[in-house]
Amino acid sequence: MASVFSLHPSTFLSPLKTTKLRTKFQTLHSSQKPFLISSLKFEQLDPKIPQQVQTFWNWLCDEGVVSIKTPVKPAIVPEGLGLVAKRDIAKGETVLGVPRRLWINADTVAKSEIGNLCTGLEPWISIALFLIREKWKDDSKWKYFIGVLPESTDSTIYWSEEELSEIQGTQLLSTTLSVKDYVQNEFQKVEEEIILGNKQLFPFRITLDDFFWAFGILRSRAFSRAGIQNLMLVPFADLANHSAKVTTEDHIHEVDGPAGLFSWDLLLSFQSPLKLKAGDQFLIQYGLKKSNADMAIGYGFIEPGSARDTFTLTLEISKHDDFYKDKLDIAESNGLGETSDFDIKLGQSLPPALFPYLRLVALGGTDASLLESFSRKAVWDHLELPVSRANEELICKIVRDACKSALSGYHTTTEEDDKLMKGGNLSSRLQIAVGVRAGEKVVLHQIDNIFREREWKLDELEYHQEKRLKDLDQAKVRNS
């Protein structure tokens, strides 16, 4: 993938919840404006909620983000911290709106003291630096928001070596290690180019752990209007948890609206995707197209046994192929490339382009004449059907061998994983590990079964040459 943030346009859409809250909480400076007194501030939240959250609620009240009419409030929920309905809420009803002046995004950074230093940086890196700097400022505008951010999550980027050993052989492990390498490399560059040479703006030591903290916060809690160029942290809104019951992503909008007693601003507005009763949790969707690996890295939880169980087949046109240029040209003409990834999801059909690309990769011998006989589009159209028995047999072998190789890389069997899941009493991270490796294995067996059945039917399939001869015979009959 191009970068760790390019998995899906809404990779950053919506937050992850955790019960871990920051224990450090700075006191107010005398220069800080005093809290206004209102009845809303004395609204009793769940007594189990840390004081930081109550203070954060008071700040939201001061900023005009919440009022007596706000239909949700923070509460302790199974995920840790979330938002619950104070009254019945209709499906589609507006639940909250957060004004632009409280968002933390690239524009916020550009207007700050480090704005000039961050020119040209990737948006997430500039926001990460800003967030780290604000975390250690006693007079930060966002100190009460930062005070309730978690120090870590169950994302695999925070796992120990021992914990990572539980996902040995999985695609999740290789992706996690790639992400960690990427973040570490970016930190080393920004440390050398910006941090160390600007001690007046960064008077405190910034470590790799700090950078990983900021990265994890953005990966799990940031929203995005249109990809990574418009990332933003949105206080209060990021308390909304995810639910598989929410099957749409159209409940978040930007609207003009009141942003306080006498102000008007652009708001990030949230509508309830579900009908709620008083006491129900307000839930949203973190991304319908994300795999369990995406969820594990981004948010620190998964949905086992669902279509999020995914295995990615990566296919490549070899540079040493005698027909490399022709094959690459055909692939690129159809939106693919020299290397192409195909996500296979549990219980779903194979991607439509998988078979044509496989046949293209395996094309050789007398079958290669197909490359010169037709236009590029016509060749792809022909590849959507079996080319020859030899070609079809080869693609079955390629895929089945790949499945066998991948399955041999896991350190547990499917039966052992099932036993662990049925036994219960697993830590949250071990649940993720067992769920992901079990899900990958199930999908690999699904893929293997599809191509095994394909092998059984090789003698029954109609191939390109046979179909071409049949079409010629039919044409002769029509013309006679």
Contact 418, 438 (CB under 8 A): yes
Determine whether 324 is an active site residue: no
Contact 70, 96 (CB under 8 A): yes
Contact 216, 155 (CB under 8 A): yes
Q: Is 271 helix (H, G, I), strand (E, B) or coil?
A: strand
Closest CA to 450 of 360, 319, 342: 342
Measured between alpha carbons, how far is 311 from 285 in angstroms, rounded to an integer? 22
Closest CA to 105 of 228, 191, 202: 228
Among left, alpha and beta (phi > 0; psi -120 to 50; other), residue 51 is: alpha
| Catalytic-role residue among 158, 286, 299, 357 | 286
Measured between alpha carbons, how far is 2 from 325 in angstroms, rounded to an integer? 23
Measured between alpha carbons, how far is 243 from 67 in angstroms, rounded to an integer? 26
Please list, in sequence order, all residues whose beta carbon lies within 8 angstroms of the beta carbon of residue 56, skipping any fewer than 6 positions away. Answer: 74, 144, 145, 147, 148, 235
Measured between alpha carbons, how far is 374 from 378 in angstroms, rounded to an integer? 6
Measured between alpha carbons, how far is 12 from 2 in angstroms, rounded to an integer? 16
Contact 268, 98 (CB under 8 A): yes
Measured between alpha carbons, how far is 175 from 195 in angstroms, rounded to an integer? 28
Q: Exposed, middle or buried: residue 478 (CB in 10 Å: 0-12, 13-18, 19+)?
A: exposed
Phi, then psi, of 254 in degrees rounded to 5? -100, 125
Q: State the catalytic residues.
A: 286
